[in-house]
Chains A and B, each alone.
Chain A
Amino acid sequence: MIRLTHLQRLEAESIHIFREVVAECEKPVLLYSIGKDSSVMLHLARKAFAPGKPPFPLLQIASGWDFREMLEFRDATARRYGLDLIVHTNEEGLTAGVTPWSPGTAYSDLMLTQALRQALDLHGFDAAFGGGRRDEEKSRAKERIFSFRSPQHRWDPKNQRPELWQLYNARKNRGESIRVFPLSNWTELDVWQYIHVEAVPIVPLYLAAPRPVVQREGRLIMVDDARLPLAPGEQPETLSVRFRTLGCYPLTGATLSTAATLPDVIREMLLATGSEREGRLVDQDGAASMERKKQEGYF
């Protein structure tokens, strides 16, 4: 008897989710963060609607501080597959001069959370695919695959719709929207393995290469352009590094590594002792911070 592999089952479940949203929602969009999870999502979306194209655009929230290689990869990807790409930046935040070094959470609030809400409202999207996985974080473990948002984009963790079997209720009232997580049941290993098996294109930043970095508060920050303010006497050094997650370059810590191929990266990942989000500064303000951010509309 033929048996489906674990990845084939996950793939089938995700495709089912994509199709269900397209069948039941009016104006879906794929939140494309350019990271590895977004790459896998896009790959699955293309399979779900083959031989046609995915019937929805990609939306990227550009903070102005994304890695240059990410933006190049983003544009090349949209071009290669002939996809509609929407790039949104919070102009108010730019005008107000908010930077990754602004005090408190102003940067992530304005340039990520607010920017996303603006873009969704501006285009009237009623469903947005996100790459969140349940294995990432404790509050995500309790989030539904179809996760409802009020017209103010708020998530109410105590009032989630029951989600039985593979029956998803996508009905909503005017102004309400859904965040949909097709990768909910994937683990980090599954994602890497799928990228490997399916040869899914990813941003080269995931693979080790010599890159200019500075050391700050125990983290290696890449000097991706001249805007990164250097402390007096601070000298970028070229080290062989790679990134486990991608975001805004001044806030994303690199890992010392020589893993320049996918199997090498997977080996390192499997032998690693720290969790995936460790390198992401934006997630480390407070124990319940992710749950709070989500309630406010962060993905």
Chain B
Amino acid sequence: MIRAGQELIRTDVEAYLRLQQNKSLLRFITCGSVDDGKSSLIGRLLYECKMIFEDQLAALEIDSKRSGTRDGAMDFALLVDGLAAEREQGITIDVAYRFFSTDRRKFIVADTPGHEQYTRNMVTGASTADLAVILIDARKGVLTQTRRHSFLVALLGTRKIVLAVNKMDLAGYSEDTFRGIEAEYRGFAAKIGLHDITCIPISAVAGDNVVTRSARMPWHTGPCLLDHLETVALDEPAETRPFRMPVQWVNRPSPDFRGFSGLIASGVVRAGDLLRVLPSGRSSRVAGLLNGGGATDVALAGESVTILLADEVDVSRGDVLAAAAAPPAVANQFEATVIWMHERALVQGRAYLLKLGAKTVSATVAPIKYRIDVNTLEHLPVNELALNDIGVCGIELSSAIAFEPYRDSRELGGFILIDRLTNDTVGAGLLHQALRRAQNVHWQALDVNKRARADLSHQKPCVLWFTGLSGAGKSTIANLVERRLHADGRQTYLLDGDNVRHGLNKDLGFTGEDRAENIRRVAEVARLMVDAGLIVLVSFISPFRAERRLARSLVEPGEFFEVFVDAPLATAESRDAKGLYKKARQGELPNFTGIDSPYEPPENPEVHLDTARLSPEAAAGVVIGRLREAGIIDVDLN
């Protein structure tokens, strides 16, 4: 029955091969624990589909007698438990991939272990599955592990579920038992977003409803398992989505050929298409296209190609080529679900390597918002993720990457985390959304820009504009803040009013016009320094709101921090370290702020320091705290 093709093989093997060529492929995962009969089920599918050769069957017979769990009868589970340790313990430890085909379809089965301690193996198997077969022991019903398996496959994006209620032979082939389990499972599955569910009562050992409909359960009107696997509709192919291809390798065999090689993640690309290179934002047209067969005019999702561009644009490994009309977002901060896969726990704030597509960047995970109890789906506050824990976290990268949410693209939304010392794959993750404003920003053609420079030094540039009366403590506090930032490895520069007047602005006096020009120049210098990726501290009396507003307007929103160093005139004057107030009072310094020129206090400063209450150290601490809140720095320097 399964090999109806046998006749065709004999008579016209070429025709048979053409049929094979056009078969579709279904990748599915089987989930269940040792007692649910998962290996037995796969063993039976392989056996019934004639995938087991005579010598393998002979070996199986010997194995069944030696280490089988069925009193010497054929133990199909032994066909699939591949590692010696697994056969000894009678359990499945690692993911095994099995291949079988019928006249209608080809199948790759990821056979994965069910115990909680092997969650990472199950997640590995689920990462490439189109469908999941979840096994339940009819005598036990929906268990904690059933819920865990379902949650994991849903998390990894497998939407099609087969609930195989196994061991019906041991449950008297009872319809009531089956219906009860089905109802309970559907109720639970709906809660985790699984709706495409097919429930089938089977017995893997007795063969009921596996490859043929069972006469012992006439009440089951649905398909048997194999019929369902052969006919279930496959997901909409990825070529209907916009074109994306992570660049794996730059192919430069000779000076006159420069191609960009990669596996197309989604969409279709044609010669002449306008593509955008991300994250740089440059665009160019497809000048030529090579696939497995050589030069071609069109290539689609799932093909490995080499693309030639019309212009000499800068493209390197890890960049993404995308349809210019619908490019993916670019960001460096994300919310993601992280699945931890290593004995050494995930530490918040520690640097790991993150690989997504062909790009590997430095990444820190912080904060861990919560851990999900995979059995109860409860959210639990935690400080670390241990082996097999799953949590929702913030992720910050050393440089921005092109990405898509995992629900839209496994290729541009799924990542792994790598330990920098051992090089082990320690975690996997699913990007959900970008945090902050990098989302949907496509940087335009500037090879080295502000972000690139700032990324190099792992910081976000900004201006800290200290304003206040002479003697209020601006320079003292700004110095303390700079020392703390410097000690943490941040690149800073302090522009001090007095010092600037010795050089850049030594041609300026103290007329209203010169004072305005003084501020304008300093604001422009601060802007350039922010563009250079620095954290700039400006310590200037800057008494007028309009001037400070001008300085603020020169940088991007969120990059300007107005720090009001607030001291009563009497206090400032009493300090008078430089003797300026005295001179001003004596009329030697005209237009001196606070004496014969007004000071306009900020209306909504980012930081307001009351120096009457705060010591300079405490005031510096307030500024650092504000920078941390704003995400300019990511560790608590206080």
Contact = CB atoms under 8 A, between A and B. Distances in A.
Interface of A: 1-9, 11-13, 15-16, 19-20, 22-23, 47-53, 134-135, 137-142, 157-158, 160-167, 169, 171-173, 184-185, 187, 189, 193, 196-197, 263-264, 266-267, 270-275, 278, 287-288, 291-292
A3 B302 CA distance: 10
B248 A50 contact: no
A262 B94 CA distance: 37
B93 A5 contact: no
Tell me what chain B mostly uses at the interface: helix, strand, loop, or mixed.
mixed
A23 B94 contact: no
Nearest to B78: A138
Contacts of B17: 193, 196-197, 263, 266
B20 A189 contact: yes
A161 B17 CA distance: 36
A185 B418 contact: no
B280 interface: no
B106 interface: yes
B124 A163 contact: yes
Contacts of B13: 263-264, 266-267, 270
B541 interface: no
Contacts, number: 195
Given A8-B292, A138-B82, A165-B411, A16 B304 contact: yes
Contacts of B21: 5-7, 193, 197
Contact of A52 (B83, B251, B423, B428): B251
Nearest to A172: B423
B56 interface: yes
B410 interface: yes
A43 to B, nearest CB: 10
B424 interface: yes
Interface of B: 6, 9-10, 13-14, 16-17, 20-25, 53-56, 59, 63, 79-85, 87, 93-99, 101, 106, 108, 120-121, 123-124, 127-128, 237, 239, 248-249, 251-254, 257, 261-263, 290, 292, 294, 298, 300, 302-304, 306, 317, 341, 353, 355-356, 358, 410-411, 414-416, 418, 422-425, 428
Contacts of A16: 248, 262-263, 304
Contacts of B14: 263
17 contacts: A6-B23, A22-B249, A50-B306, A52-B254, A142-B96, A157-B94, A158-B85, A165-B411, A166-B263, A167-B416, A171-B353, A171-B423, A189-B20, A263-B14, A264-B13, A275-B56, A287-B84
B411 A12 contact: no
A154 B329 CA distance: 43
Contacts of B22: 5
Contacts of B108: 185
Contacts of A15: 263, 292, 304
A278 to B, nearest CB: 5
A163 B356 CA distance: 13
A161 B424 contact: yes
Nearest to A169: B425
B93 A291 contact: no
**Top 6 A-B pairs ranked by shortest CB distance?**
A52-B253, A138-B82, A15-B304, A275-B53, A171-B423, A164-B127
Contacts of B93: 158
A264 B94 CA distance: 38
A167 B355 contact: yes
Nearest to A146: B425
B302 A4 contact: yes
Given A19-B249, A162-B120, A164-B127, A169 B428 contact: no
B80 A138 contact: yes
A2 B424 contact: no
Contacts of A2: 239, 298, 300
Contacts of A139: 82-83
B304 A12 contact: yes
B423 A274 contact: no
Contacts of A162: 120-121, 123-124, 341, 416, 425, 428
A15 B291 CA distance: 10
B428 A164 contact: yes
Contacts of B121: 162
Most buried by B among A5, A165, A270, A291: A165
A164 B416 contact: yes
Greatest chain A CB density within 10 A among B6, B17, B127 is at B17
Contacts of B79: 138
Given A49-B253, A173-B422, A291-B82, 6 more contacts: A6-B20, A11-B292, A12-B304, A13-B263, A169-B425, A267-B9
